[in-house]
Amino acid sequence: MRFNAKQMTTGLLMLGLWCGLTGGAAALAASDKQTSRIETALAAAPKATWIAQGQGRRVLYVVFDPNCAYCPLLYKNLQPLIAPYDLQLRWIPVAILDATSPGKAAAIMQAQDPRAALDYNEAHYNTEAYTGSISEQIPSAATLARLRANEALLNQLGIPVVPTMLFRSKSGEAMVMQGVLSPIALRKVLDRVR
């Protein structure tokens, strides 16, 4: 049976969703083309607009949408692991899921304390409406440009899914994990972060 590009993309997105629901994650590093995409995205990540959490030497980039239903779970699961794993999390906001995503991402990015705004949004996620809890703000032109750049970084991977984690492994490989991991699986991934 042959699949077209749309069917393949839908299948991969469903795999990512299934992995998110089952506590696994879609690890994408199979082909040379995909490896090149991951390497390009990871090289661009330091120049993205991100919100730092933790001051560890091991850097993990996390791409999120303020309306993502799985991002608060990943956020919660990462909190107790920041110090023990010597992590610096770099949260990269995008606005891809909902019409309110740009305004909520802007509220986080334009806040006097973006980290506190991120904390609030993730800690108070509205599970009944499947929306972030932060109130929307009108994005400035600069914020919209930064959001577009962040989205371009995510799109470089070929499958724009949130949450997406990007990191360099101890062996030097550029790695990407998409979806939510169980706490045990998350620890195994963090053991690989350089």
Q: At what angle do helices 101-109 and 114-123 cross, to 10 degrees?
A: 140
Give 32's pLDDT tier (boundaries 50, 70, 90): confident
Q: Looking at the domain assignment, is residue 177 inside a domain?
A: yes
Q: Fill in the DSSP letter of residue 24.
A: -
Structure tokens at 87: 């992590």
Least confident of 3-7, 63-67, 89-93, 116-120: 3-7
Give 1's pLDDT tier (boundaries 50, 70, 90): very low
Q: How many domains does the structure of the chain reveal? A: 1
User: pTM score, two decimals?
Assistant: 0.85
pLDDT of residue 33: 87
Q: Looking at the domain assignment, is residue 101 inside a domain?
A: yes
Please, where are the H alpha helices in the chain? 5-22, 32-44, 71-78, 101-109, 114-123, 141-155, 183-192
pLDDT of residue 25: 53
Q: Looking at the domain assignment, is residue 17 inside a domain?
A: no
Q: Which residue has the higher pLDDT, 24 or 68?
A: 68
Q: Looking at the domain assignment, is residue 132 inside a domain?
A: yes
pLDDT of residue 13: 44
pLDDT of residue 21: 42
Distances (CA, A) of 119 to 10, 21, 116, 194: 31, 23, 5, 25
Q: Looking at the domain assignment, is residue 181 inside a domain?
A: yes
**Residues 33-64: tens digit of each pLDDT:** 899 999 999 999 999 999 999 999 999 999 99
**Nearest Cα to Cα of residue 46 among 178, 184, 180, 167:** 167
Please determine, for residue 11, whether its predicted confidence score (pLDDT) is greater than 90: no
Give 85's pLDDT tier (boundaries 50, 70, 90): very high
Domain of residue 163, residue span: 28-192
pLDDT of residue 31: 80
CATH number for the domain that contains residue 177: 3.40.30.10
Q: Looking at the domain assignment, is residue 6 inside a domain?
A: no
Q: Looking at the domain assignment, is residue 20 inside a domain?
A: no
Q: Looking at the domain assignment, is residue 36 inside a domain?
A: yes
Please determine, for residue 191, whether its predicted confidence score (pLDDT) is greater than 60: yes
